[in-house]
Amino acid sequence: MVTYTLKPGTCTFDNLEFTTELHVNRLGLRDGNDALAGPEVIVLGDSHAMGWGVGQEEAFPRVAARKTGLNILNAAVSSYGTVREMLLLDRLDRSRLRALVIQYSDNDIVENAAFHADANHLPITPQLRYQEFVRYYRSQRAYFPGKYVFRLFLKISRLETPEPDSPAFSPTSPDEEVSLFVNALEHAGHTPLEGVRLIVLEVGQDFAHPRAFISALADWSRRPDTAAFYQQLVTLDTTTIIRAEDFYILDDHMTARGHERLGEALGELLTRLVR
């Protein structure tokens, strides 16, 4: 149970910083139907990999596809954590899969921890709680004079009120975060990953964040007691690729330039690993 996917078809989203069209295929993913047939690379993730705020062809999975010539499926869905990403993978054609790219965000830990705490089952949001989210986001669409200036002030002052579906973070060490991530990889879905190159990267706007998870994951993969499959895991440090100016000011997602930088780097990595 992945809770939701996107609604197939086309829709337009616009705000002060961008206007984008979302073209959604028959499986509820922001990619074409042709990309569903035997992809060589699948990209899992949340709104960052899905390309929130940029055009369909500007999202970094599409940039990497053009650079490599590989059939890359963008299977990222807004707000998904590792658990739902692996459950979604079970629905996809994996007959020609050579590499799996997982875009991680620090808020994935909430879903991964809840999954582990519930004996490797994903708690489903109750209907009433879901309707609260719907009402909140509908109310946010209303405009009033000075709305965006006010929001910018709150953002800069770090006075923003958390959205109702924003996950609550508990202090967790990088090693614990890695353990929860690996548990989700191994128990959320049923897709065997042997023979598939696994690439993990993290995207986030907070550049004060040391990306300790990626560093801890890389260290864990090199331990002699780690399973052979995970010793082949590759991490991509995005802090050397994208910069603070590659994100929107009001929205905490990458601009087209940020996606281009990341897509180019991912394409180079895929060329070395699977071409």
Mean pLDDT of the chain: 88
What's the mean pLDDT in 243-248?
Answer: 93
pLDDT at 211 (0 to 100): 74
What's the mean pLDDT in 19-32?
Answer: 96
pLDDT at 272 (0 to 100): 96
CA 46, CA 52: separation in Å to the nearest integer?
A: 9
pLDDT at 133 (0 to 100): 61
pLDDT at 154 (0 to 100): 52
Residue 71 makes CB contacts below 8 A (sequence gap 6+) with 35, 37, 38, 39, 40, 41, 65, 96
Q: How many helices (H) and strands (E) does the chain have?
A: 10, 7
Q: Which is higher by pLDDT, 166 or 29?
A: 29
Angle, CA of 270, 28 and 78, to the nearest 5°:
70
CA 200, CA 214: separation in Å to the nearest integer?
A: 8
pLDDT in tens, 115-169: 999 999 988 766 676 677 667 556 666 656 665 555 555 555 655 555 555 555 6
pLDDT at 135 (0 to 100): 74
CA 28, CA 24: separation in Å to the nearest integer?
A: 6
- Domain 9-122+174-274 bears CATH identifier 3.40.50.1110: yes
Name the most confidently modeled range: 12-16, 121-125, 193-197.
Answer: 193-197
- % of the chain exceeding 70 in pLDDT: 82
What are 187's strand-pairing partners?
none
Angle, CA of 142, 31 and 13, to the nearest 5°:
10
pLDDT in tens, 43-75: 999 999 999 999 999 999 999 999 999 999 999
Residue 24 makes CB contacts below 8 A (sequence gap 6+) with 6, 7, 8, 9, 10, 11, 30
Rg (CA), the chain: 18
pLDDT at 182 (0 to 100): 98
Residue 262 to residues 56, 85, 118, 175, 235: CA-CA distances in angstroms? Answer: 15, 20, 35, 26, 13
What's the mean pLDDT in 235-253?
Answer: 92
pLDDT at 46 (0 to 100): 97
Domain coordinates of the chain in residue numbers?
A: 9-122+174-274
Q: How many C-beta atoms surround the C-beta of residue 174 within 10 A?
A: 17
Q: Which is higher by pLDDT, 180 or 204?
A: 180
CB-side neighbour CA atoms (13 Å) of 53? 21
What pTM was computed for the model? 0.86
pLDDT at 123 (0 to 100): 80
CA 255, CA 212: separation in Å to the nearest integer?
A: 24
Closest CA to 100 of 81, 120, 85: 85
- Res. 220 pLDDT band, cuts 50 70 90: very high
Residue 102 has pLDDT above 80, yes or no: yes
CA 4, CA 7: separation in Å to the nearest integer?
A: 9
Residue 18 is which amino acid?
A: F
